[in-house]
Each structure stands twice: as structure tokens, then as C-alpha cells.
Amino acid sequence: MSMMNGPVTTIDLLRHGQCEGGEIYRGSTDVPLTDLGWSQMKASLGAETELAGRAPWNAIVSSPLQRCRLFAEAQSEQLKVSAEINEAFREMHFGDWEGRELKEVWQADREKVTQFYADPGEQSPPNGESMNAVKARLLPAWDELVEAQRGKHVLLVQHGGTIRILLSHLLKMPISAVTRLDIPYASLSRIQVFDAQGAVFPRLVFLNRAIADGTLV
């Protein structure tokens, strides 16, 4: 596929690895990675570095939550590249479901859970964010990132929910489709943004290249 001439900005979307707390609505609950979670993320980046022959990133941007931030800061120090913590890339807030087990919430609030997964753009967890609300803070941050890092290669460390919302927007999918996207722990996906005279064209290069155990797919 022929692309327009101009700078190409490459952004790798890395989801955090396994976290402490089990299968819960984590959202804004600031829990640490497990040892396995650290290993998963290292394996994903190690696999990408091996494929590229070197660590390719010019900068790292991260959610402020520690399951992303601490790993991003460690990689920044190791790779000798800058790390920026951006509040806009934090995970969505699940309101009254925060910190509770998925199965427990399903049993206690089945109707509301069903409504949320059927229409996540408009429906929200009780006292939480809808995905449209998350999208409203994500997209300006994304546009600023692409402009600030124009022509460079960036590692963006964030969350399953925010990655799904970004992908649905960039691929022109309805936001209701986000619940159909599987984004495993520590998976790496790549977006390239082509720019020619102000015309911006994003393209998905790969999705979930490294899965939870670090195996290439």
C-alpha cells in the first residue's frame, strides 16, 4: 500500500502486565505489578528489540498509575531516553465497581454490567466514567503526543481500556466495539501515523505482537 510522503510517527502501545489483586475492576485503583507482570512486559520489549536489532524508542510516555509508571521509569533509565508521565492516559474509573472482583460485581449488579458492555460509550459503571468520557480526555493527549514526537518512535505504556478506545477511534470503529477487542497483559501493538501537508493518516501495523507469556504471535 503506497503512503503519502512525509514524516512517519510510530507509536507502540504497551499494556501493563499482570497486577496484584486478581480479576478485579482495577481502573483507577493503583495496584502494583506482580513479579510475573514485570517479566511479561520485559519479555514483550525484549522480543521487539530482538526483532529490530536494537531498542527502537526515542521516548517513553506513560499513564501515572504505578503498574505502568514504574516500568516506564525503569525502561527510561535503562534505555537512556526521556520518560513523560501523562495523566490523560490513566485507565477509566469504574466508580462503585473499583477494586471489586468481576464475578462478584456480575452477581450483584448484573443488569448494570450488561448495559455497560452493550453500550460502553454512553453507559457507565455507577459513579464511574463512560468510555466516551475517557475518549474525550484521551484524544487531545494523543494528538499532542503525535505532534510533539513527529517523525519519532515512541513507547506508550498504558491500559487495556485506553488502548481499546484509541484503537476504535483510529480505525474508525464504533466505540461499542471496544469490548470485542482482546488486549492481553503486556501485549504490544503498533500505530504508524503518516503526515503530509497536514493530512494525517494512522495505520495499524500489528496488534498484540507479544502476548502475556512473551511469545511472539
Active site residues: 16, 91
d(CA 179, CA 153): 28
The amino acid sitting at 98 is E
Residue 170's SS3 state is: helix
Cell of 189: 501493538
Taking a C-beta distance cutoff of 8 angstroms, is the pair 89, 141 a contact?
Answer: yes
- What is the rounded distance in angstroms from the CA atom of residue 63 to the CA atom of residue 45? 17
Please count the CA atoms within 13 angstroms of the CA of 199 that sit on its side-chain side.
6
Distance CA 197, CA 4 (A): 10
d(CA 31, CA 98): 11
C-alpha cell at 37: 507482570
Distance of alpha carbon 211 from alpha carbon 25, whole angstroms: 21
